[in-house]
């Protein structure tokens, strides 16, 4: 059985990093019986000062279908030690300290195994809208120093590969490995009432996820639609959250039938049930290289109303969601108004379409997984 070392910032029981944690957990659940998967990560969740309870630090812990090495800090010595007897080293993201260390160790010949770096959407135009100058300086340094020369990139789509090659170089070696889905399922638990809409936003609270746009969209809704808008997510930018809340508070004056509430963080194990208790998922994100929350909303029968900056571009065609232009808020308003006007029978058809679509997508992604090409 081939030995795979995955190095990532955080892993379960952590959940505040959202998609990256979910990506690796899904991978181990599907492929953990085919490969000896080992994971190196920090010993605490994002923002925590204390380590997880009931873990053994700096040794392997059996966690699901993987063995997990929790550490207080990544060092060249520890990364090299864990890399010595594996067949593949796989790092999640290019900017983190562990990735920089691993690339330098590969360049000087210390890491013998192939080194893959997951792009994780790092080179999209949307990503460079946030700290773009700093990112470009880092990429220029890594290219000039040769640290990108001996690695292979893991990307989730041809679009992401094209974006990477435009920034890193046309000769960059890439393998397409689409993120794998959750294995668990859940039944939708709501009954739809015509003229009402139970909306949810589930994502990190930061500029990229664009909660502020959701507030702007709701302000454009007709004032005779009864909407309950629940917000779940780890607060990465408290000032940004306050800005969003201020805009949402304005709804009280103009749209008394729209109620909203910030419900706090959502543990990954609760996300499917959260979606199952809502009619639609409002997600005007600035960009996703995959978008686990979109897949999860579909799996729970919660209709996605999303921006046109994700790979999930065929939801309208499949009758299971709405893809709206970020340049035209009226697209979102039209989609939400249409959903609000549906009764249980009408919305259940879309929920059924969600189930059919996501089952087809999941079967294909597991059967044709590029991770098998990476892991060998």
Specify whether the CB–CB gap between 122 and 96 falls below 8 A.
no
Q: In the prediction, which pLDDT does 83 show? A: 97
For residues 329 and 270, state if they share a domain: yes
For residues 227 and 115, state if they share a domain: no
For residues 207 and 121, state if they share a domain: no
Q: Which residues, at least 6 apart from 73, have a Cβ–Cβ distance to it below 8 Å?
A: 42
Residue 301 is assigned to a structural domain of this protein: yes
For residues 84 and 17, state if they share a domain: yes
Residue 306 is assigned to a structural domain of this protein: yes
Q: Which residues, at least 6 apart from 253, have a Cβ–Cβ distance to it below 8 Å?
A: none
How would residue 298 be classed by pLDDT, with cut points 50, 70 and 90? Answer: very high
For residues 111 and 214, state if they share a domain: no
Q: Print the domain residue range for 217.
A: 196-362
Helix, strand or coil for residue 198? strand
Token code pair at residue 181: 């889905």
Specify whether the CB–CB gap between 294 and 181 falls below 8 A.
no
For residues 173 and 214, state if they share a domain: no
- Chain position carrying tokens 């058809």: 349
For residues 234 and 349, state if they share a domain: yes
> Which backbone phi and psi does 86 adopt, to 5 degrees?
-115, 165
* Cα–Cα distance for residue pair 100/117, rounded to 1 Å: 10
Which of 347, 220, 229, 208 lies closest to 284, judged by CA?
A: 208
How would residue 129 be classed by pLDDT, with cut points 50, 70 and 90? Answer: confident
For residues 312 and 254, state if they share a domain: yes
Residue 208 is assigned to a structural domain of this protein: yes
Specify whether the CB–CB gap between 237 and 267 falls below 8 A.
no
Token code pair at residue 145: 């120093």
Residue 374 is assigned to a structural domain of this protein: no
Cα dihedral 234→323→117→69 (10° resolution): 40
Token code pair at residue 175: 């393998």
Q: Is the pLDDT of residue 82 over 90?
A: yes
Helix, strand or coil for residue 70? strand
* Cα–Cα distance for residue pair 373/109, rounded to 1 Å: 23
For residues 110 and 46, state if they share a domain: yes
For residues 158 and 218, state if they share a domain: no
Q: In the prediction, which pLDDT does 247 show? A: 92
Q: In the prediction, which pLDDT does 348 show? A: 95
Counted domains in the chain: 2
* Cα–Cα distance for residue pair 88/84, rounded to 1 Å: 10
Residue 188 is assigned to a structural domain of this protein: no
Residue 270 is assigned to a structural domain of this protein: yes
Give the domain-ending residue among 148, 177, 206. Answer: 177
For residues 113 and 55, state if they share a domain: yes
Summarize pLDDT for 230-266 with one digit per residue, the tens: 999 999 999 999 999 999 999 888 899 999 999 999 9
Q: Which of 180-189, 278-287, 338-347 has the lowest mean pLDDT?
A: 180-189
Token code pair at residue 289: 């290289």
Specify whether the CB–CB gap between 215 and 247 falls below 8 A.
yes
Q: What angle do CA 76, 52, 35 make, to 5 degrees?
A: 60
Residue 337 is assigned to a structural domain of this protein: yes
CATH number of the domain within which 278 lies: 3.40.50.2000
Q: What angle do CA 12, 14, 16 make, to 5 degrees?
A: 135
As a whole number, mean pLDDT of residues 330-347 equals: 97
Q: Read off the DSSP letter of residue 193.
A: -
Residue 368 is assigned to a structural domain of this protein: no
- Evaluated on CA atoms 167, 127, 24, 359, the torsion sign reads negative
SS3 content of the chain, % helix, strand, coil (to 5): 40, 20, 40
Q: In the prediction, which pLDDT does 290 show? A: 86
Q: Read off the DSSP letter of residue 56.
A: -
Q: Is the pLDDT of residue 209 over 80?
A: yes
Specify whether the CB–CB gap between 226 and 257 falls below 8 A.
yes
Cis peptide bond prior to 13, omega within 30° of 0: yes
How high does pLDDT run on average in the chain? Answer: 94
- Chain position carrying tokens 């799996």: 299
For residues 169 and 303, state if they share a domain: no
């Amino acid at each position: 059985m081939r030995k795979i070392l995955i190095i990532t910032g955080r892993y379960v029981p952590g959940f505040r990093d959202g998609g990256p944690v979910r990506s690796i957990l899904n991978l181990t659940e599907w492929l953990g019986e085919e490969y000896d998967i080992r994971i190196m990560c920090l010993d605490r969740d994002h923002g925590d000062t204390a380590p997880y309870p009931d873990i053994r630090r700096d040794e392997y812990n059996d966690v699901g279908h993987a063995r997990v090495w929790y550490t207080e800090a990544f060092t060249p010595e520890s990364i090299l030690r864990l890399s010595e007897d594996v067949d593949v080293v796989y790092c999640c993201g290019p900017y983190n300290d562990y990735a920089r260390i691993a690339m330098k160790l590969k360049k000087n010949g210390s890491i013998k195994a192939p080194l893959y770096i997951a792009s994780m959407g790092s080179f999209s135009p949307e990503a460079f809208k946030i700290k773009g100058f700093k990112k470009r300086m880092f990429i220029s340094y890594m290219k000039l120093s040769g640290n990108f020369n001996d690695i292979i990139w893991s990307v989730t789509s041809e679009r992401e590969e094209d974006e990477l090659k435009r920034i890193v170089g046309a000769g960059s070696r890439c393998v397409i490995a689409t993120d794998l889905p959750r294995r668990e399922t859940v039944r939708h638990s709501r009954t739809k009432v015509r003229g009402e809409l139970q909306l949810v936003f589930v994502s990190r609270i930061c500029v990229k996820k664009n909660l502020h746009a959701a507030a702007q969209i709701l302000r454009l809704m007709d004032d005779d639609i009864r909407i309950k808008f629940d917000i779940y997510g780890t607060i990465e930018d408290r000032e940004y959250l306050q800005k969003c809340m201020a805009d949402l508070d304005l709804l009280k004056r103009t749209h008394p039938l729209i109620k909203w509430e910030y419900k706090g963080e959502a543990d990954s194990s609760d996300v499917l049930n959260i979606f199952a208790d809502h009619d639609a998922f409002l997600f005007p994100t600035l960009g996703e290289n995959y978008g686990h929350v979109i897949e999860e909303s579909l799996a729970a029968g919660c209709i996605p109303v999303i921006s046109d900056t994700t790979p999930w571009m065929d939801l309208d065609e499949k009758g299971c969601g709405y893809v709206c232009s970020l340049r035209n808020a009226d697209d979102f308003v039209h989609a939400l108004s249409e959903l609000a006007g549906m009764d249980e029978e009408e919305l259940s058809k879309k929920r059924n379409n969600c189930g059919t679509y996501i089952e087809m997508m999941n079967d294909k992604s597991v059967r044709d997984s590029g991770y098998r090409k990476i892991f060998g």
